[in-house]
Amino acid sequence: MIRGIKNIKALSNKRFISTANTTTKYASLSNGVTIATESNPHAKVSSIGLFYGAGSRSEHAYSNGISALTTNILGSGLENGVLLTSENGKETNGIIAQTTNDNIIEASKIIAKIGSNASEIIKGSEFELFKKQLIGQGEQLESVPQKMILEHLSASAFQGYSLGLPTLGTSSSVKDLQVDDAERLLEKHLVGSNVVISASGNINHDELVETIESSLNIPQGHKPITKPASFLGSEVRMRDDTLPKAFVSIGVEGEGFTSPAYYVAKVAANVFGSFDSKATNATLTSSKLSSMVHEYHLVDKFQHFSTSYSDNGLWGFSCEVSNVQLLDDFIHWTLKEWNRLSVSITDAEIERAKQQTKVQLLAELNSTKSVVSDIGNKVLLSGYRNSITEALSKIDSIQTKDVKAWAKVALWDKDIVISSTGQTEALMDYSKWRNQMAMLRW
Amino acid sequence: MLSRSAIRSYSVTVRDAPGNLSSVSVVINGGSKAGKSGQAHLLSKFNFLNNELKSGLRFTRESELLGGIVSSKLTRDSIILNTQFLREDLPYFVESLNNVLTKTSFRPHELSEIVLPSALNDFTQASKSNAFKGEEALHKISFKKGYGNSLYYDGSKSFSSEDIKEFSKTVYTSNNVEFFASGVIEEDFKSFLSDLSLPTTSVESVPVKSYIGKESRIQSSGPSYAAIGLPIKPADFAKFDILSATIGSSLLPSSSPLSKIGAISRVLKYKDAGLFIVESSGDAAQVSESIKKAKSLISSVSSSDLKSSVKSANLLQALQSSFESPLSYSIDESSANVKVTDFNYVAVGDIDVLPFADDL
C-alpha cells in the first residue's frame, strides 16, 4: 500500500516475528561446512536449511534446470511433522525443513541425512515425475506476465552467459535431463566449502551443531568458480495481444552483494519506490514520480528494484499499464526522474528512501524461513553476512552526494535492457529510451 | 516476555523483542461478518485517510519519511491495522492509530474518489477467480449470516460516508479492539495508549449458526472449481487440523493423498467458527474426477492414519498461528477421530460437467 516497499502484500500477510536482529552464531565443521544459527524465542516454527552454491548460473544451456530439479527432489516431503521445501535461485539452491520448536533436532537429522545421501535419494526418486513438476513450475511462472518479464529481463541482460539462463530451466532442457546430470551436479557443488547450513527459531546453537557434526557426511572440496557474466544493453519483446495491458521492465547493470554501493543502489531504488493506482494512498505518496503519474493515470502499478547477484545485479523498474497509448509518457517521465538522481535529487528524498530501506530490510526477515534463506544466500555469495546493526549504520551513512555519484556512474547515459509483454506495440523502440538515459541540459 | 493485561479495559498484548523494528497492530472485531454487507470493507479503506488532526496527505508523507509500513486489512472476523516502524518512532505511530480509531473524518469526497474505486477494485480482481467465487458461496450456504456475508463490497448497495461513520462508532469501541505490540517496552506503550479514549458501548454479538447439506452452483467462464465444505466449531479445530494434515493441506505442500488426485484441503479458522474445505480447480472434467475421489478419500481415512499425522497437524497449527491471532488449542492423539458424513458443496464454472452433491 505504501509506495517504496516492494511486495507489500507478502510483507503484511506474513507473520511478523522480529527475528531480524538477534545475533548470528557461526560454527565451521572440519569438512568446511559452515553452520549459522539465530535464536528467536518468539518463533512458533523453527527452520533449518541446507544451502549450496549452484543455481542456474552453474549450468549450461543443455543442463539448464538441473540444480532446481535436484533440489526439488531433495527438498520435498512431509514426515513426522517436518515439512521439506526447496528454494531455487540463480546462484544458490536450498533445502529447507520447517517444524515446531520441539522437533528441530529431528529436522536437523533429516537435513543431515539428505546432505549425506543426496546421490542415493536422487537415484531412488521418481525422477520423471519431478521433471514434469518442474516444467509445470516453469509454465506457471511464464503465465504470470509480471514475473515473466523479469525472468526475460535477466535473460536478455546476461545473454550468452549462464547467468542469463532461466532459473527453473526450459521445458525442452528439463525434458532431456538424466539422473547422471544430477549426480555430476552434486559431486561438483555439494562439497564442504560450498555448503551452508542455517537455522532459525527457538533453538539451541550448540545442540544443533553437535547433531549436524555427528550425522552430516559431505566430502571436502573447493567452492566451484563462479562463471563469468557481463551485462549487454538489449531488448526483448514478447507481444501478446490477448493480454489487457502492457507489461514493461527496464533495467541497468546493478550492484553485486559485495559491492560497496550495494545499499546505495537499494536507497536509490526506494527514492522512486512502488506505486499502485488503486491503493487508497495512491494520490498521497511522496515520490515525485508517483504524483506525476497518478493524475493522468499513466500507469496501474510500478515498482523499482535493486536485485543483486554475487558480482553484479540489475537495477530498474517494472510496470503494468492499461492506458497503453500513454505508455511512452510513463517511461519518459520515469527515465527523466532517473536522470534527476545524477543531477538534482534532494536531501529530503534521500532521507525518506533511507528510512524506508531500513524498515524494509528489517521487515523482510519476518519468518524463520526467510531468515534461514537470507543467511544461506549471503554467506554463500559474499562469504559473510553483516549484522543488522552494521547494515543499518551503512544505510545511515549514505549521503545525497553518494547517491548522485553512484547514479552518475551506474545510470547516467548507460546502456539499458528492456523486457516487455502484452500490448507491446505501444512501446517505442530501444534507441529512444537509450537516449533518455541522459539529458543535454537540465 | 509476553504480557496480556487491560488498561482502561483495552485488551493489550505486549512483547519486547531484540532489535530495531517495532510493530503495533490493532485488531478490531468488526470484519465483514459485522454490519451490512460491504460496510466493513469500506470502513477498512477509510483508515489512515483524513482525520480531524491530520490530513491523509500529511500522515502518508510523515510516515513515509519515518520509513513506516502501514496497512489496513480486512478479514471476515476483523479489520486489522498494522504498522511497522523503527523502534524510536513508537509515539508517532501509536498516536496515528489513536487518530484513526477516534478522529477519522469520513469526508464524502474521499468515499467517491478514493474509497469506492479502491474497494471495487479489490472486488473485481478477486471475482476474476472462480476459486474466490466458490469460497464466497461456500461461506454463504454454510453460515448465511455473519461469516456468510460477502467479504468485499460489491457495489450493489450504496452507502454514504455518514453510514460508514455510524458503522465505525459501533465497532471502534473499547471492548471491541485489541492491541498487539511487538518490539516495544510495555510501560512506554501503555503510557502512550493512555491518551486513547474509545466509547465503551457493547457490541451485540451475533450467534453463529451453521448449516449442513446445502449446495450452490454458479455458471462462470474460466477454470472450473468444486469444493466440499464443512462448517466447524472452534472446539473441533484440532480434529480438522489432523484430518487436513493427513489427507493433504495447502499449507504443507508435499506429496499427499489429496495432491495425487489433484485436490487440496484447508481449515479456515475464525473466532467463533471455522470452515473445513476440500477443493479442486482446473479443467471441468478433471475437477469432477478429483472431487469425487476426494469425497471417497475423506470418508475412508483410518484412525491410525489420523494418529500418525498428529505431529504434522502441530506444524500446521504453528504455521497458521501469529502474534496477532495466536492459536493455542492443543493437538494430540485424543483429537484423532473425525468422520465427515454430511457436508456443503459448491461448483463454479462449467456446471453442465461438474457433478452435483448427490453424485459424489
What average pLDDT score do residues B278-300 get?
A: 95
Question: What tens digit of pLDDT does each residue of A350-396 get?
Answer: 999 999 999 999 999 989 999 999 999 999 998 888 888 899 999 99
* Helices of type H across chain B: 39-46, 56-65, 90-103, 108-110, 116-127, 130-143, 161-171, 186-193, 237-247, 257-260, 284-299, 303-308, 310-320
C-alpha to C-alpha distance for A89 and A70, rounded to whole angstroms: 13
Chain A window 349-378: which residues touch B at a Cβ cutoff of 8 Å?
351-352, 354-360, 362-363
Residues of A in contact with B21 (CB under 8 A): 18, 20-21, 359, 362-363
Check: CATH 3.20.20.120 for B2-193? no
Q: Would you place residue B18 in the very low, low, confident or very high pLDDT band (cuts 50, 70, 90)? A: confident
* pLDDT value of position B8: 56
C-alpha to C-alpha distance for A337 and A303, rounded to whole angstroms: 14
- CA-closest candidate to residue B84, choices B189, B182, B206: B182
Residues of B in contact with A12 (CB under 8 A): 69, 71, 73, 82
Percentage with pLDDT > 90 across chain B: 83
Nearest by CB to A21, which of B19, B65, B311?
B19
> Which residue intervals of chain B bear CATH 3.30.830.10?
2-193, 215-359
* pLDDT value of position B16: 86
B145 CA: distance to closest CA in chain A (Å): 26
pLDDT tens for each residue of chain A, 442 residues long? 344 444 433 433 333 344 445 688 999 999 899 999 999 988 999 999 999 999 999 999 999 999 999 999 999 999 889 999 999 999 999 999 999 999 999 999 999 999 999 999 999 999 999 999 999 999 999 999 999 999 999 999 999 999 999 999 999 999 999 999 999 999 999 999 999 999 999 999 999 999 999 999 999 988 999 889 999 999 999 999 999 999 999 999 999 999 999 999 999 999 999 999 999 999 999 999 999 999 889 999 999 999 999 999 999 999 999 999 999 999 999 999 999 999 999 999 999 999 999 999 999 998 999 999 999 999 999 888 888 889 999 999 999 999 999 999 999 999 999 999 999 999 999 999 999 999 987 5
Identify from B16, B64, B65 which residue to disrupt to test chain A contact, counting A C-beta atoms within 10 A and taking the largest count: B64
Check: CATH 3.30.830.10 for B215-359? yes
Nearest by CB to B84, which of A16, A100, A280?
A16
C-alpha to C-alpha distance for B272 and B29, rounded to whole angstroms: 11
- CA-closest candidate to residue B204, choices B30, B4, B57: B30
Question: What tens digit of pLDDT does each residue of B226-264 get?
Answer: 999 999 999 999 999 999 999 999 999 988 999 999 999
A362 CA: distance to closest CA in chain B (Å): 6
C-alpha to C-alpha distance for B59 and B51, rounded to whole angstroms: 9
Say whether residue B118 is in contact with chain A using an 8 A CB cutoff. Answer: yes
Burial of A91 (0-12, 13-18, 19+ CB in 10 A): buried
Which residue in chain A is spatially nearest to B248 when comparing CA positions? A78
Question: What tens digit of pLDDT does each residue of B348-358 get?
Answer: 999 999 999 99
Burial of A350 (0-12, 13-18, 19+ CB in 10 A): buried
- Which residue segments constitute the domains of chain A, with CATH numbers given? 25-215 (3.30.830.10), 234-435 (3.30.830.10)
C-alpha to C-alpha distance for B82 and B180, rounded to whole angstroms: 9
Chain A window 12-41: which residues touch B at a Cβ cutoff of 8 Å?
12, 15-18, 20-22
Say whether residue A186 is in contact with chain B using an 8 A CB cutoff. Answer: no
Residues of A in contact with B61 (CB under 8 A): 284, 286
Between A382-391, B48-57, B98-107, the lowest mean confidence (pLDDT) is in A382-391
What average pLDDT score do residues B220-230 get?
A: 96
Confidence check on the interface: ipTM exceeds 0.90, yes or no: yes
CB contact under 8 A, A283 and B82: no
Q: Which residue has the cell 464524502?
A: B108
* pLDDT value of position B192: 86
* pLDDT value of position A13: 36
* pLDDT value of position A15: 35
CB contact under 8 A, A5 and B69: yes
CB contact under 8 A, A281 and B252: no
DSSP B142: H
Mean predicted lDDT score pLDDT of chain B: 93
* pLDDT value of position A166: 96
Residues of A in contact with B96 (CB under 8 A): none
Rg (CA), chain B: 22
pLDDT at B188 over 90: no
What average pLDDT score do residues B298-307 get?
A: 91
pLDDT at B297 over 90: yes
pLDDT at B9 over 70: no
pTM: 0.92
A17: its cell numbers: 516475528
pLDDT at B272 over 90: yes
